[in-house]
Amino acid sequence: MGKNKFIPALRFKWLTPVYDFLIGVTMPEMHIKQSLIDFSYLTDGATVLDFGCGTATLTIMAKEHRPTIKITGIDIDKAILVKATEKINQKNLDIQLTGYNGESLPFEDNSFDRIISCLVFHHLATPVKQKALVELFRITKSNGQLFIADFGRSDSWHQRLLFNMIRGFDGYTPTRANAKGLMLPLISDAGFVNPSIKKRFKTVFGEVQIFNAIKQ
């Protein structure tokens, strides 16, 4: 994939308008996102980044969960940020949105207490995952934490089989490290410590896991 190329939310740009509907009817979306928020333990005034915010469903849920947080959503797809802006404006919430060039995140070092991200990393080829994680490490504050919900290697052959089906849709290259169970090593390699899997969700597309790690 060339520079700044990306896989849209549902693989094809023309499917983006129905992303919220399709993800809602096929996945335990709200359960996954609420767990991500609960594990993140968002405290009053915390600075939070939603990496790959898409239509801002998680960003909005986090802001409504703890209204005093300062939350920013970032996404590489400018078109999906238009939809995110509409949803945020409808609810009149104080949420910042920004675009990403796929290279460097537009934030100072040590800016965020929490990084949250849902179903983004299986869209990124391994070198892109590595680059994104190094950037996320740079902008995380000392003692800040990373929480990622995404597909991981399941102990269940049935879940692995189901994930292979979604791999055909999303692509074998971006999903390879997820399928091999390499998310935790990749997170460690970026500098984060104490990487762990907090929770596993069995879905019709394979197992989604919540990965957590800390910046010391």
Ligand X SMILES: C[S@@+](CC[C@H](N)C(=O)[O-])C[C@H]1O[C@@H](n2cnc3c(N)ncnc32)[C@H](O)[C@@H]1O
Work out how close the CB of 112 gets to ligand X at its nearest, in angstroms, rounded to a whole number.
15
The smaller minimum CB distance to ligand X, of residues 44 and 82, is found at 82
Q: Is 54 in the site for ligand X (CB under 6 A)?
A: yes
- CA atoms of 70 and 192, how far apart (whole Å): 23
CA distance 35 to 29: 10
Q: From the CB of 154, what's the least distance to ligand X, in Å? A: 19
Shortest spacing between CB 181 and ligand X, in angstroms: 20
Contacts of 138 (CB under 8 A, 6+ apart): 105, 109
| Distance in Å, CB of 205 to ligand X, minimum | 11
Residues 131-170 contacting ligand X, CB under 6 A: none
Binding window for ligand X (CB under 6 A); candidates: 50-58, 63-71, 175-183, 188-196: 50-58
From residue 54, alpha-carbon distances to 13, 19, 20, 118, 123 in Å are 12, 9, 9, 9, 12
The identity of residue 195, as a single letter, is P
Amino acid at 83: K
Q: By CB under 6 A, tell whether 129 contacts ligand X.
A: no
Q: Could you give phi then psi for residue 81, rounded to 5 degrees?
A: -70, -25
Q: Which stretch binds ligand X (CB under 6 A): 116-124, 135-143, 196-204, 208-216?
A: 116-124
To the nearest whole angstrom, how small is the minimum distance from the Cβ of residue 66 to ligand X?
Answer: 18
**Which residue in this structure is represented by tokens 């970026």?**
190
Pick one of 42, 76, 136, 213: the residue that binds ligand X (CB under 6 A).
76
Q: Hey, what are 15's tokens?
A: 């499917």
Taking CA atoms, 198 is separated from 36, 192, 194, in Å, by 9, 15, 12
Tell me: does residue 102 bind ligand X (CB under 6 A).
yes
Instruction: Provide the binding-site residues for ligand X, judged by CB under 6 A.
Output: 6-9, 52-55, 57-58, 75-77, 80, 100, 102, 118-120, 123-124, 128
